[in-house]
Amino acid sequence: LRYLNQRYTMPTNKSKALLTDIGTEEMAHVEILGTMVYQIMENASIDQIKAAGLDGHYADHGKALFYTDATGNPWTATYIQAKGDVIADLHEDMNAEQKARATYEWLINLTDDAEIKKILGFLREREVVHYQRFGEALMDVQDNAKPSDFCK
């Protein structure tokens, strides 16, 4: 959502298109992760759910998806940032991609399941590509936009 919101203040067609494309792809990542988690949970026994420390989740949501962080805090739009300063937004986007890459690496370290590692590895690779594309967008904006277009 961050990238889809920020695209409106991008000063070049290339940067607008890039944020649209990456924002759309990130929504697909949510679908991939949601499918993976649901497939893990759907056949889990109550004992497995308890052993995984998910009994609180199960008590509130059964085996349904409910988006939280690793400590159980519900997802919130607070994470969605759009400053309106193109340079600041693109730098923040690059930082977000690096944080996501690191998180995928740590998740890979937490599992022995080869299929899950494969999925997480794919997503990690996409974060690296997104980081690179945001760097290219930053150069495009700096090279092709007027400084007066940087803050909207």
CB count, 10 Å around CB of 3? 24
Total count of domains within the chain: 1
pLDDT, position 152:
67
* Domain assignment present for 150: no
Residue 29 in marked binding region: yes
Give the whole-angstrom CA distance, residue 56 versus residue 96: 29
Give the whole-angstrom CA distance, residue 24 versus residue 100: 16
CATH number for the domain that contains residue 47: 1.20.1260.10
Domain that includes residue 70, residue range? 2-144
Indicate the pTM of the whole model.
0.89
Residue by residue, pLDDT tens for the chain (152 residues) are 899 999 999 999 999 999 999 999 999 999 999 999 999 999 999 999 999 999 999 999 999 999 998 888 999 988 788 888 999 999 999 999 999 999 999 999 999 999 999 999 999 999 999 999 999 999 999 998 777 777 76
Residue 26 in marked binding region: yes
* Domain assignment present for 152: no
- Helical ranges in the chain per DSSP H: 2-6, 13-42, 46-51, 55-61, 86-109, 114-144
Give the whole-angstrom CA distance, residue 95 versus residue 101: 10
Residue 21 in marked binding region: yes
CA 14 to chain centre: 21
